[in-house]
Structure 1
Amino acid sequence: MAQMGRPRTFDRDVAITQAMHLFWEHGYDATSLSQLKANIGGGITAPSFYAAFGSKQALFNEVMERYLNTHGRVTDSLFDTTLSPGESIELTLRRSAKMQCEPDHPAGCLVALGLLSACTDESKTISQPLAQARASNRAGIVACIERAIAAGELPATVVPDALATVFDSFLLGISVLARDGEPFEKIDKAITQIMTLWDASRISSPALAND
């Protein structure tokens, strides 16, 4: 009778989180298979790694799914039409900044920092879900601005793509600030400042215009 293989000695769910933190901290290309084997599940062998995850690329795909369904949901407010357009954008910025500065995981945003330069064919393939996530966020900001124009909150002269690029650039820039150790309180004050651009773009009400 063939002997059964030894069962896994690690919690796969915990291992995915550990791998996520490694990719988040170092990026896809700089995270080696040796690092992954040494740091997930308390250390696993190559056969155990491939049996559990298939490949580094397949593991990263699982990591991205985990990230987008947990930490990445800070941008959900962009798509919440029960909020005003300005509230949607502001809440996204504040939630993202808070998440990126939390101490229980690497600083910054995996979507922004995980793989910005695709150096190999493998990393070019891997970069697609990150690029798609960033594009989705940009589209969400554009939709908020278009919703504000349709509602008469912003004037028709506002160019949605242009104004969205301002807020999207700020959102992506938070990742660098957080990674450099800038405190949440400082970034949060900067969000208050950037939102004055939204207020300045709004159509003044008749009551305000007559004051």
Structure 2
Amino acid sequence: MAQMGRPRTFDRDAAITQAMHLFWEHGYDATSLSQLKANIGTGITAPSFYAAFGSKQALFEEVMERYLDTHGRVTDSLFNTTLAPREAIELTLRNSARMQCESGHPKGCLVALGLLSTCSDESKAISAPLAHARSVNRAGIVACIERAITAGELSATVVPNVLGTAFDSFLLGISVLARDGIAYEQIDAAVTQIMGLWDAARVPALARQK
């Protein structure tokens, strides 16, 4: 009789990581149930898959939790108020570029690349958490800019949402560059250039001392 349910050798923790890499590489819609079954462990049956995860959507939700708790933490500096605002943003951009270009997992960022389209009803249902994760990072960037304006580091004429959009656009754009094979060193050098936007809006040190 065929074995039903979850195999005894099933490693759920490893399965989440394997599924994460598939979704990360191909995106939610393009990752089929057949791919998931074939690449989790040494391959699992449909009953085993549903017994373990419930559905593709439920599995993706677990994958997102795993990603945000691990690779996604490169943006943590945005919310560390012990860091200077400029340092917080620069660290996020450099750490994100390093993570997205490193080996051992697909290139780019799952939050940025996992689901930008809403092709199916199912993908529409899971697009909101990804958009939320992006909006949290965007808000973190804006909060850093607002802190700098309050502290007198940036000019009061700076519009936080506008400058924040420039940095957020660069952060999201790293995913495409990494996926296209642009070298980490080149992207890291570009971070130095983009931080020039901050420096151009800075209040001169002498003016801050008055």
Q: Which TM-score band applies after superposition, normalised by the shorter structure?
A: over 0.9
Question: Match of 1:116, SS?
Answer: coil
Q: What is the letter of the counterpart of residue 62 of structure 2?
A: E
Aligned residues of 1:111 and 1:134 also touching (Cα < 8 A):
yes
User: Which residue number corresponds to residue 22 of structure 1?
Assistant: 22
Cα 1:7–1:38 change in 2 (3 A) is closer
Deviation at 1:197, TM superposition (A): 1.1
Aligned residues of 2:6 and 2:47 also touching (Cα < 8 A):
no
Q: What is the letter of the counterpart of residue 49 of structure 1?
A: F
For each residue in 1:134-191, what CA deviation from the matched residue of structure 2 results, as whole angstroms up to 9, or x when unmatched? 0000000000000000000001100000000000000000000000000100000000
Q: How many residues align?
A: 207
When normalised by structure 1's length, the TM-score is 0.95
Q: Please give the alpha-carbon distance, in whole angstroms, between the structure 2 residues aligned to 1:208 and 1:84.
A: 16
Q: What is the letter of the counterpart of residue 188 of structure 2?
A: D
Aligned residues of 2:5 and 2:48 also touching (Cα < 8 A):
no
Deviation at 1:8, TM superposition (A): 3.2
Deviation at 1:6, TM superposition (A): 6.6
Q: Please give the alpha-carbon distance, in whole angstroms, between the structure 1 residues aligned to 2:115 and 2:93.
A: 21
CA RMSD of aligned residues (A): 1.7
Aligned residues of 1:8 and 1:48 also touching (Cα < 8 A):
no
User: Which residue number corresponds to residue 135 of structure 1?
Assistant: 135
User: Which residue number corresponds to residue 50 of structure 2?
Assistant: 50
Aligned residues of 2:5 and 2:51 also touching (Cα < 8 A):
no
- Aligned pairs (5 A) from 1:88-103: 88-103=88-103
Gaps of 5+ in 2: none
Q: Please give the alpha-carbon distance, in whole angstroms, between the structure 2 residues aligned to 1:124 and 1:207.
A: 50
Aligned residues of 1:112 and 1:172 also touching (Cα < 8 A):
yes
Aligned residues of 1:15 and 1:41 also touching (Cα < 8 A):
yes
User: Which residue number corresponds to residue 149 of structure 2?
Assistant: 149
Q: Please give the alpha-carbon distance, in whole angstroms, between the structure 2 residues aligned to 1:7 and 1:189.
A: 48
Gaps of 5+ in 1: none
Q: Please give the alpha-carbon distance, in whole angstroms, between the structure 1 residues aligned to 2:117 and 2:186.
A: 29
Question: Match of 2:195, SS?
Answer: helix
Aligned residues of 2:6 and 2:51 also touching (Cα < 8 A):
no
Aligned residues of 1:18 and 1:39 also touching (Cα < 8 A):
yes
Aligned residues of 2:20 and 2:67 also touching (Cα < 8 A):
yes
Question: Match of 1:190, SS?
Answer: helix
User: Which residue number corresponds to residue 170 of structure 1?
Assistant: 170
Aligned residues of 2:24 and 2:106 also touching (Cα < 8 A):
yes
Q: Please give the alpha-carbon distance, in whole angstroms, between the structure 2 residues aligned to 1:73 and 1:16.
A: 17
Q: Percent of counterpart pairs with the same letter?
A: 81
User: Which residue number corresponds to residue 62 of structure 1?
Assistant: 62
Aligned residues of 1:108 and 1:179 also touching (Cα < 8 A):
yes
Deviation at 1:7, TM superposition (A): 4.1
Question: Match of 2:57, SS?
Answer: helix
Q: Does 1:72 align with 2:75?
A: no
User: Which residue number corresponds to residue 122 of structure 1?
Assistant: 122
When normalised by structure 2's length, the TM-score is 0.95
